[in-house]
A and B are shown apart, each in its own frame.
Chain A
Amino acid sequence: MTRTTRRGVLKVGLAVGAGLAGGRVIAQDADPAITNLQPWMQQLGEGVDARPYGHPSEYEAHVVRRNVEWLTADPVSSVNFTPLHELDGIITPNGLCFERHHSGIAEVDPAEHRVMINGLVETPLVFTMADLMRFPRVNRVHFLECAANSGMEWAGAQLNGCQFTHGMIHNVQYTGVPLRLLLEEAGVRTDGKWLLAEGADAAAMTRSIPMEKALDDCLVAFKMNGEALRPEQGYPVRLVVPGWEGNMWVKWLRRLEVGDQPWEHREETSKYTDLLDNGKARKFTWEMDAKSVITNPSPQAPITHGKGPLVITGIAWSGRGTIPRVDVTTDGGMTWNAARMSGPSFNKSMHRFYYEMDWDGSPLLLQSRAMDSTGYVQPTKDMLRKVRGENSIYHNNGIQTWSVNENGEAENVEIS
């Protein structure tokens, strides 16, 4: 059986490009893809019993999460990256959602899992998973972005590909119980101003959440994109904290404690605090600011079709609302053009934008600039550095530049 490799596709693409005339391909020889009988046109395929849980086509084997070994000491307390350059629309497939663990993937038996509410409540409670399934549910689409997404880019262009510069994000539909209902079941006392969420893994991850947010739009979720959470995303139950940094979305959620002040735990003192130039650090920087990135073309997704019609596409999101508008520049920000938003626009969710152009083969400096529903305009990296310096690690939402050359190859650059 002949197997088209990715490289083979690229070669064919270039050969066809050479036959371009007046923008349309002239067939010089009959196309063997048409004139040859392909095996799938003749032979029987697998039956309905072959794939009880389906996987992507073998030709999509390159569409995978990737990690960057030198980033962390160990793959167990580490991160990998969503292949944004291979995806479209706004929903991230469950198997491609980036992972961030602090003590590896906890494999939790749902029958042995409990969720406890204690602290400043009228009645401390214990729930089983079966109990949680009996509360009224809601469905919502939200992005989860790691606070450290683009963190390696604070001091300049480092990693070559939007998977690595922007891939600590995913966007899925969650099904779960409003956290408010669980807290009301226990009865939060009037002095209960803060909530500590804790995971069941060996890191026993904890974060302090103000009660106002907990009662507003947080969910205790057990489904993602219609099916049970994946183990690496907190199976059987995780916290959803819309618009706020991913670290707070505690996975394998086992305990919620109500208190009258924040706990100032490791993940909100040593980590997830943002050091400024003067040596002082911001703490409790919860919201993720409006941000966008062009996913195609990008370093891992060069232009391979030659001159002519080109689809520029990307994603935009804001922790403070929706994204009604994205602008795209092809000349490094001298001129901007309104992109076309496409697909559903949900609060604190990923949005998809397109900008179609006729590429004349000259070099491009591509940028996208998101504007959220509060009127906030995504800043440049230089604007951010002016306020924060280069050592914040977290919350880098600066505008990304891709330099595209005459061959259509793209590179991560910074520009004046």
Chain B
Amino acid sequence: SRDGGFGLGREALLDEIAAWDIDIRPDGQGLPEGSGDVWTGEEVWVENCAMCHGDFGEAVGRWPVIAGGWDTLARKDPVKTVGSYWPYLSTVYDYIHRAMPFGNAQSLEPDQVYALTAYILYLNNIVEDDFVLSKETFADVEMPNTDGFFMDDRAETELEQWRTEPCMEACKDAVEITMHAAVLDVTPGTDEKAVDE
């Protein structure tokens, strides 16, 4: 057994690690060799993605919107897309390769994923239509909302203020109902059939 351990498990082989370790980081660590351009990306998109995400990333039905929504984050109804919200390009490559197309994950070659990523950048007005994305050009891309995120600050903004002895008596003079869920009526029925046949 190994020093200080239980001696359980065995050493992972390089081929095994290569097969499963597909993650990409914001600094580009993990990116494979390869490249793809915007118009190749459009072809891959039309064939594999557009049926759910729309020809221009505008989405079909309730499927996720991929492009647009710029400058909507402080609005009442923000539209969070790769262009308007996502902080890192690495996440686009990683997620497409990892989990898309929905129902046929990990079916795309590195060149196809580079091309798709380039096309999504183009749809979001982040690159020109002659852009070629590769491991080498990856770092040239600036995502619009890179600085839009900050570490959880609840400890400073919420926790201390709300650690107070709460009111128990005469806490308010009157109470009024301001909103009813029944007015919206979007709750599924309780399906009485299950017991009432």
Q: Are A123 and B168 in contact (CB under 8 A)?
A: no
Complexed CA–CA distance, A11 and B116 (Å): 61
Contact partners of A196 in chain B: CB under 8 A: 23
Told that A134-B8, A181-B6, A280-B149 touch, could you supply 6 new A-B pairs with CB distance under 8 A? A5-B196, A62-B195, A118-B21, A204-B106, A265-B95, A332-B175
The stretch from B39-47, B73-81, B119-127, B130-138 touching chain A is: B73-81
A and B contact pairs by CB, cutoff 8 A, 17 listed: A7-B195, A68-B186, A131-B9, A203-B105, A270-B80, A270-B82, A270-B95, A279-B74, A287-B154, A300-B190, A327-B168, A334-B172, A334-B173, A335-B170, A376-B162, A416-B174, A416-B176
Q: Which residue of B lies closest to A401 (CB)?
A: B177
Using A61-B195, A377-B163 as known contacts, say yes or no to A159 and B10 having CB atoms under 8 A apart: no
Q: Are A159 and B181 in contact (CB under 8 A)?
A: yes
A284 at the interface (CB under 8 A from B): yes
Q: Which residue of B lies closest to A68 (CB)?
A: B188
Q: Are B149 and A257 in contact (CB under 8 A)?
A: no
Q: Are B187 and A164 in contact (CB under 8 A)?
A: yes
B91 at the interface (CB under 8 A from A): yes
Q: Are B151 and A73 in contact (CB under 8 A)?
A: no
Using A264-B26, A279-B73, A387-B158 as known contacts, say yes or no to A124 and B12 having CB atoms under 8 A apart: yes
Within 8 A of B (CB), among A352-411: 365, 369, 371, 374-377, 379, 383, 387, 390-391, 403, 411
Instruction: Tell me, rounded to whole Å, the shortest Cβ–Cβ distance linking A160 to chain B.
Output: 4
- Size class of the contact patch on chain B: 35 or more
A206 at the interface (CB under 8 A from B): yes
Q: Which residue of A lies closest to B19 (CB)?
A: A116
Complexed CA–CA distance, A237 and B167 (Å): 45
Instruction: Tell me, rounded to whole Å, the shortest Cβ–Cβ distance linking B56 to chain A.
Output: 18
A263 at the interface (CB under 8 A from B): yes
A254 at the interface (CB under 8 A from B): yes
Complexed CA–CA distance, A390 and B77 (Å): 9
Instruction: Tell me, rounded to whole Å, the shortest Cβ–Cβ distance linking B67 to chain A.
Output: 13
Q: Which residue of A lies closest to B155 (CB)?
A: A287
Instruction: Tell me, rounded to whole Å, the shortest Cβ–Cβ distance linking A68 to chain B.
Output: 6
Contact partners of A161 in chain B: CB under 8 A: 187
**Which of B82, B99, B171, B181 is A411 in contact with, Cβ under 8 Å?**
B181
A336 at the interface (CB under 8 A from B): yes
Within 8 A of A (CB), among B96-127: 98-99, 102-103, 105-106
A415 at the interface (CB under 8 A from B): yes
Which one of B149, B157, B168, B181 has the greatest number of beta carbons of chain A within 10 Å? B181
Q: Which residue of A lies closest to B77 (CB)?
A: A391
Instruction: Tell me, rounded to whole Å, the shortest Cβ–Cβ distance linking B172 to chain A.
Output: 5
Complexed CA–CA distance, A281 and B152 (Å): 9
Q: Are A415 and B90 in contact (CB under 8 A)?
A: no
Residues of B within 8 A of A (CB): 2, 4-6, 8-12, 16-17, 20-27, 52, 61-64, 73-74, 76, 78, 80, 82, 85-88, 90-91, 94-95, 98-99, 102-103, 105-106, 148-154, 157-159, 162-164, 166-182, 184, 186-188, 190-192, 194-196
Q: Are A365 and B175 in contact (CB under 8 A)?
A: yes
- Size class of the contact patch on chain A: 35 or more
Complexed CA–CA distance, A159 and B191 (Å): 16
Instruction: Tell me, rounded to whole Å, the shortest Cβ–Cβ distance linking A108 to chain B.
Output: 15
Complexed CA–CA distance, A117 and B88 (Å): 26
Within 8 A of B (CB), among A41-62: 59, 61-62
Q: Which residue of B lies closest to A336 (CB)?
A: B168
**Which of A255, A270, A411 is B86 in contact with, Cβ under 8 Å?**
A270
Q: Are B149 and A273 in contact (CB under 8 A)?
A: yes
Residues of A within 8 A of B (CB): 5-7, 59, 61-62, 64, 66-70, 72-74, 76-77, 102-103, 116-119, 123-128, 131, 134-135, 156-161, 164, 181, 184-185, 187, 196, 198, 202-204, 206, 254-255, 257, 259, 261, 263-266, 269-270, 273, 275, 277-287, 289, 299-300, 327, 331-337, 365, 369, 371, 374-377, 379, 383, 387, 390-391, 403, 411-416
Q: Are B21 and A416 in contact (CB under 8 A)?
A: no
Q: Are A413 and B179 in contact (CB under 8 A)?
A: yes
Contact partners of B187 in chain A: CB under 8 A: 68, 159-161, 164, 299
Complexed CA–CA distance, A289 and B157 (Å): 13
Q: Which residue of A lies closest to B22 (CB)?
A: A204
Instruction: Tell me, rounded to whole Å, the shortest Cβ–Cβ distance linking A366 to chain B.
Output: 12
**Which of B52, B152, B170, B177 is A414 in contact with, Cβ under 8 Å?**
B177
Contact partners of A413 in chain B: CB under 8 A: 177-181
Q: Which residue of A lies closest to B87 (CB)?
A: A269
Q: Are A203 and B99 in contact (CB under 8 A)?
A: yes
Q: Are A185 and B181 in contact (CB under 8 A)?
A: no
Contact partners of B169 in chain A: CB under 8 A: 335-336
Instruction: Tell me, rounded to whole Å, the shortest Cβ–Cβ distance linking A42 to chain B.
Output: 24
